[in-house]
Chain A
C-alpha cells in the first residue's frame, strides 16, 4: 500500500513538472516499473473531460483496461489535453510520441495525427471517431487503425425509443459541438422519430431551439440543439430547461460532460422528463432519489473495438485501416439489459425489429455526409 502510494506521488510530481494537468492515474498501473520494455507502452490522449467522463472517453479507456487485465505488464498513461483544440491535440500527441508504442486518441480533433504517424512509422495509433487527415494524398496509413461508428444507427434507435415512449409528443436531442459524430447522432435521432411517425402513425415532433443551431465542419447550419462545448454543464442545464419549457418529455443527450447539466434539468423538472444517454450505459447517472430519469442509452461500442485493436498489436497482426463500424459487428445499438432501462416491452420489440433492418442495411438513417436527410432515407417509406 505504501509502495503504491509512493509510485502515485512520484507520478504526480512528474506530471506536474511537465505541466500537464493530472486527471488521475496510478490506480491501474502495474506496480513493477523495472519490467519496462516487456509490455506495451500505451498512452491515451483525451479531450478536456478526461478518461473518467462516464461517457465517450471512458468507454475507450475501459477497452484499454480490459486489455490490461489480460496483459498486466502493460504501461498505461492518460493524458488530458486541456483545450480540445485540434492543433493543441496533435501537439499533445507529438510531445509524447517518443515514449510510447501505442497512442490512442479518442476524438474527432485528433485527425491531424497522420503527420506524426508518417514521421514515426514504428509507433501505432488508434484513432476513434474519425479518419486520419490526408498527408501527401494518402488517406490510409499502415500504422493508424482509424475507427468510425455509424452513430446515426444508435441515434436512430434513440429517436425511435423517444418517439415511442413520449407522452407529450415532443422530444429533442442535445449535442456538444457539431462535429460529424454529433451531427450523425442528431440526424439519426430525427430519422428515428420520423420513422416512428411514418410506420406507427404517430405525430411526434423534435424540438430545435434556433439559438442553439449547430454549424457543422462545412459551415452548414444543421439545426439541432448544440451547446457549443463538451464540458459546459451550466449551458447544458439552460438548454435542458429551455427544452422542457417547450414541452419536451424525452431528451436524447449526446453532449459529453455538458450532458450532466441536461440531466440536472431533467431531475429538477416538475413533471416527468426522461433522458436517453449516449455512447455508454449512463443509467447510474440518472439516479434521482428512488427514481431514475434514464430511459435507455444509445451505444457506441468502442471498448471492444479498442481491445481488439490492442490485441492485434500484441499478436503482431495489426493492420492499419480506416473502418466504419456498424450494427452488423454489434458496434452500435442501445441498452436493453434488464434493470438498466425503462422501455416498455412493446418498444423493445419494435426497436429490435428495426435493429435487424439496420443490420441488413434496409434502413440507412441520415448522417452528416451520406447524402440522406431525416425526411428521406432508405427504409422510411
Chain B
C-alpha cells in the first residue's frame, strides 16, 4: 500500500508540472503537443551540463542535483522557443509544429548523446549517468497511517515541483500577467485592444511551458533510471497533455488527473504482483487503469471547455 502512494507521487508530480506547462501554453492559445520533446530535451540539457561540470571541475554528481533541475528548465525553455517561433512568428500549424519538435528532439538528443559521449568522454554509450538523487523522509508526518506514506522516501524534486506548482497556479489565476495570458487564449483581440502585445505573452507562455516540461523530464530521469537515455521518451509528455485536458485546462483538476494516473500506474504494478499471474499477463493488468481513465474521459469530456481561441493563429486584422 505504501509503495502505491510513494511511487504514485514520484510519477504523478513530474507529470503534473509538465501538465501545468501545457496549461500555460494552451491557455495562451498555443496548442503544445511538444511537451514530450521538450521534457526530453530539457533532461538532455540538464544531464549533459552536470556531467560536463562534474567532469571538468571534479565535483561529485550528487552535489549537482539542483543545478541539473535548473539547467533542465533552461534547456526546455531554450528548445521551446523553437515552437514559439514556428507558431507565433511564422504562424505555422501548431499541431504539426508540436509533432515535428517531438521527432526532432528525439533524433537530435540521441544523436548528440552518442556523439558527445564518444568525442568528449571517449566512450561508446547512448546515455549520460547522472547519479542518484537522495530521498528523505519527514519522520513525524510519516507516522500518520496510510497518508503518512506521502511523506516517506520523497525525492527533493517533488518538493521543488510542488512549490513551483503553487506559484504557477497563483500567477495564472491571481496576477495581471495571468489574466492577460488567459485572455490571449479566449479573446486575443481584447488583449490587443488593451494595448498589450499578444505575441509577447504567448512567447512567454510557451517558454514557461518548456521550462516546466524540462523540470518534469529531469525528474523522470532521476526517479526511473538515473540516466539520460533515449528511454526517456516513453510518452509521458502525451500523458501530461491527456491529464490537462482531463483536468479541463485548470490547475487543481489537472492535479487530480495526474495523481490518478500516478496511482493508477503504481496500483497497476501492485495488482499485478498481487494476482501472481505469469509476466506475460501483467501487461494486460497494467493497461486496466488507463482503460478506466478512457471510460471516465467519455463521461467527463462533455463538460470540458478548451480555451476559445486555442490553436487559432492570431491575426490582428481579423474581426
Chain A contact residues, CB within 8 Å of chain B: 8, 12, 16, 21-24, 26-28, 50-54, 58, 61-62, 65, 178, 209-215, 221, 226-228, 231, 233-235, 237-238, 241-242, 245, 257, 260-261, 263-264, 267-268, 284-285, 287-290
Residue of B nearest to A51 (CB): B124
Judging by beta carbons under 8 Å apart, are B124 and A264 in contact?
A: no
Q: Which 10 A-B pairs have the closest CB atoms?
A: A24-B114, A210-B276, A52-B126, A228-B279, A233-B225, A226-B279, A211-B273, A27-B118, A267-B132, A260-B225
Extra 8 A-B pairs, beta carbons < 8 Å, given A21-B110, A213-B279: A24-B111, A215-B278, A227-B279, A233-B225, A257-B231, A260-B226, A261-B225, A289-B62
Assembled-state Cα–Cα distance A8/B118 (Å): 14
Contacts of A284 in B (CB 8 A): 129
For B3, what are the chain A residues with a Cβ–Cβ distance below 8 Å? 241, 245
In the bound complex, what is the Cα–Cα distance between A222 and B285 (angstroms)? 21
Is B193's beta carbon under 8 Å from chain A?
no
Q: How far is the CB of A123 from chain B (nearest CB, A)?
A: 26
B129 contacts across to A, CB distance below 8 A = 284-285, 287
- Inter-chain contact A52/B226, CB cutoff 8 Å: no
Which positions 270-288 of chain B face chain A at CB distance < 8 Å?
272-280, 282-283
Least CB distance from B109 to A in Å reads 11
For chain B, what secondary structure do more than half of its interface residues adopt (helix, strand, loop), or is it mixed?
helix
Number of interface residues of B (CB under 8 A): 44
Of the candidates A12, A228, A242, which one forms a contact with B282 in the assembled complex, judged by CB atoms under 8 Å apart? A228
| Interchain CB contact under 8 A, B135 and A268 | yes
Q: Does B278 contact A214, Cβ atoms closer than 8 Å?
A: yes
**14 contacting pairs across A/B (C-beta < 8 A):** A27-B114, A27-B115, A27-B124, A51-B124, A52-B125, A58-B125, A211-B279, A215-B280, A228-B279, A231-B231, A238-B7, A285-B129, A289-B62, A289-B132
Any A CB within 8 A of the CB of B39: no
When A209-B273, A241-B3 are in contact, do A16 and B279 touch as well, CB less than 8 Å?
Answer: no
Chain A positions within 8 Å of B131 at CB level: 287-289
The CA of A178 and the CA of B278, in the complex, are separated in Å by 11
Q: Is the CB–CB distance between B225 and A22 below 8 Å?
A: no
A317 to B12, CA, bound (A): 58
A213 contact from B111, B117, B226, B278, Cβ within 8 A: B278
Q: Does A211 contact B118, Cβ atoms closer than 8 Å?
A: no
How many angstroms between the C-alpha atoms of A288 and B107 in the bound complex? Answer: 29
Are A61 and B124 neighbours in the complex by a CB distance under 8 Å?
yes
- A58 to B224, alpha carbons, bound, how many Å? 22
Contact with A along B94-133 (1 / 0, CB 8 A): 0000000000001100110111011100001111010110
Q: Which of A12, A210, A289 contacts B111 (CB 8 A)?
A: A12
Contact among B62, B110, B226, B227 with A24 in the assembled complex (CB-CB below 8 Å): B110
The answer to whether B229 has its CB under 8 Å from any CB of chain A is yes
**Cα of A8 to Cα of B112 in the assembled complex, Å:** 11
Choose among B119, B234, B282 the residue that contacts A234 (Cβ–Cβ < 8 A): B234
Known: A27-B115, A65-B124, A290-B60. A238 touches B132 (CB 8 A): no
In the bound complex, residues from chain B placing their C-beta under 8 Å from that of A260 are 225-227, 229, 231
Whole-angstrom distance between the Cβ of B44 and the nearest chain A Cβ = 14
Can you name the residue of chain A whose Cβ is closest to the Cβ of B230? A50
CB distance from A145 to the nearest CB of B (A): 24
Cross-chain contact of A27 among B7, B119, B280 (Cβ < 8 A): B119
Identity of the chain A residue whose Cβ is nearest the Cβ of B155 in the assembled complex: A268
Whether B127 and A233, one on each chain, are in contact in the complex, defined by CB atoms closer than 8 angstroms, is no
B132 neighbours in A (Cβ, 8 Å)? 264, 267-268, 288-289
Are A215 and B279 CB-contacts (below 8 A) given A52-B124, A260-B227?
Answer: yes
Complex partner residue of B276 from A211, A214, A235, A285, CB under 8 angstroms: A211
Q: What A residues does B278 contact at CB under 8 A?
A: 211-215, 221
**Bound Cα distance from A285 to B128, whole angstroms:** 10
Which residues on B sit within 8 Å (CB–CB) of A257?
A: 229, 231
Which of A52, A214, A257, A260: most chain B CB closer than 10 A? A52
Complexed CA–CA distance, A260 and B274 (Å): 24
Give the residue among B110, B153, B277 with the most A Cβ atoms within 10 A: B110
Asked if B238 is an interface residue, CB under 8 A from chain A, the answer is no
Residue of A nearest to B119 (CB): A27
Q: With A and B bound together, what is the CA distance between A52 and B224 in angstroms?
A: 19
Residues of B near A210 (CB, < 8 A) are 276-277
Within 8 A of A (CB), among B239-292: 269, 272-280, 282-283
Contacts of B224 in A (CB 8 A): 233-234, 237, 261, 264
Q: Which B residues are in CB contact (< 8 Å) with A22?
A: 107, 110-111
Please give the distance in Å from B103's CB to the nearest CB on chain A: 9
* A11 to B: closest C-beta gap in Å: 10
A28 to B3, CA, bound (A): 45
Most buried by A among B114, B274, B277: B114
Q: Which of B107, B124, B223 interacts with A58 by CB under 8 Å?
A: B124
Closest to B106 in A: A21
Q: Are B107 and A238 in contact (CB under 8 A)?
A: no
Q: Cβ of B226 and Cβ of A264 under 8 Å apart?
A: yes
Q: Which residues of B contact A233 (CB under 8 A)?
A: 224-225, 231
Interface centre among A23, A233, A261, A288 (most CB of B within 10 A): A233
Would you give the 0/1 interface string for B209-245, flagging 1 where the beta carbon is closer than 8 Å to chain A? 0000000000000011111011100100000000000
Tell me which of A24, A58, A238 contacts B269 (CB under 8 A).
Answer: A238
B124/A211 in contact, CB under 8 A: no
Q: Quick check: B62 and A267 within 8 Å, CB to CB?
A: no
B126's partner among A24, A235, A237, A242 (CB-CB below 8 A) is A24
Tell me which residues across on chain A come within 8 A of B111, comparing CB atoms: 12, 22, 24
Q: Digit string of B138-179 for contact with A (CB within 8 Å is 1, else 0)?
A: 000000000000000100000000000000000000000000
Q: Are B114 and A52 in contact (CB under 8 A)?
A: yes
Candidates A27, A52, A211, A263; contact of B272 at CB < 8 Å: A211
Q: Do A211 and B226 have beta carbons less than 8 Å apart?
A: no
